[in-house]
Amino acid sequence: MKLEKIIIIGAGPAGISAALYAARGNMDPLVINHGIGALEKAEKIENYYGLDHPLSGRELFETGLAQARALGVRILDAQVLGVGGFDTFEVHTTEGDFEAQSVILATGSKRAAPKIPGVKEFEGKGVSYCAVCDAFFYRGKEVAVLGDSDFALHEAEELANLASAVTIYTDGREPRFSREHPIPVNTMKIQAIEGEEKVAGIRLETDMSVQEEGEIVPSFMPADGVFVAIGTAGSTEIAKQMGAELTDKGHIKVDENMQTTIPGLFAAGDCTGGLLQVAKAVYEGAQAGIEAGKYIRSLRSGS
């Protein structure tokens, strides 16, 4: 496995800005792109420096990708499933695993919790957003994972190492897993997460038992814990997996150099909170790209 200098997760304004500065610093960064994200919702952008006419969010996104490629930046289209490692970082993706000396998180802000009754109420009382962080507390217990993509499958596999049973619940959506796996999947719509002082299980949207291949499936499915893994792993989820500190508002905590509380791990853009604007994302990306380069040079010098 080739050791990358810098891997940048996210190809929006923060990620591409980081890539441009890292590339100009001779760091040969690898950008992992999994789509446009929140920028797609921007119909017109006209408050950013240098635009003589409004651009859509998608136009700005595509222009950024083209600019990075023109500078020789490598861009890999893949979904990041998680990041681990000790002396170096291990980035797990749907296109394989990669090793890096430094990682920059730039995938946008934390996603809202699913609008399922009980999710918010039981946060910290059986509802979790990080399997790596909390799997130990559910050793020998039954757990559920909410999601329908490879991120949910990755979280379920992490839990399967300790839990007595793991089931993936897609909440009515068709699974979008890219590979075969042995973990049970329930595609019924979820009515609520239920319990008293802590999670007791999942109530499915039916008042009667249903027949599935000769087996009775009850409308209430017991679970000691519920792990939310809807969509893809965002910057905040990855930071939590790694043990990086978050702010009181749930954003990634960074210093003036955009470094998190983990040496070599940087973050930029919406995931750090504050002004959710392209201008702020570009500045933070530039700072992260420069500082990640300095971090790698410090490793070489031993300082």
Percent of the chain with pLDDT over 70: 94
pTM above 0.75, yes or no: yes
Cα 213 to its chain centre, rounded Å, is 36
- What domains are defined for the chain? 3-111+233-301 (3.50.50.60), 127-228 (3.50.50.60)
Q: Residue 8: phi, psi to the nearest 5? A: -110, 120
pLDDT tens per residue, range 177-193: 988 999 999 999 999 99
Q: Which of 298, 284, 294 is nearest to 14 (CA)?
A: 284
Q: Residue 216: phi, psi to the nearest 5? A: -80, 125
pLDDT at position 161 over 70: yes
* More confident: 87 or 288: 288
Percent of the chain with pLDDT over 90: 69
Spatial neighbors of 278 by CB under 8 A, at least 6 apart, are 13, 39, 45, 48, 60
- Is-contact 238 127, C-beta < 8 A? no
Neighbours of 25 (CB within 10 A): 18
- Is-contact 121 200, C-beta < 8 A? no
- Using DSSP's 3-state secondary structure scheme, residue 283 falls into helix
Cα 43 to its chain centre, rounded Å, is 25
- Is-contact 9 106, C-beta < 8 A? yes
Taking the C-alpha atoms of residue 288 and residue 31, their distance in angstroms, rounded to an integer, is 13
- Distances in whole angstroms, Cα of residue 155 to Cα of each of 132, 134, 167, 171: 8, 11, 11, 16
First to last CA, the chain: 26
Among 39-43, 85-89, 198-202, 229-233, which stretch is predicted with the lowest mean pLDDT?
A: 39-43
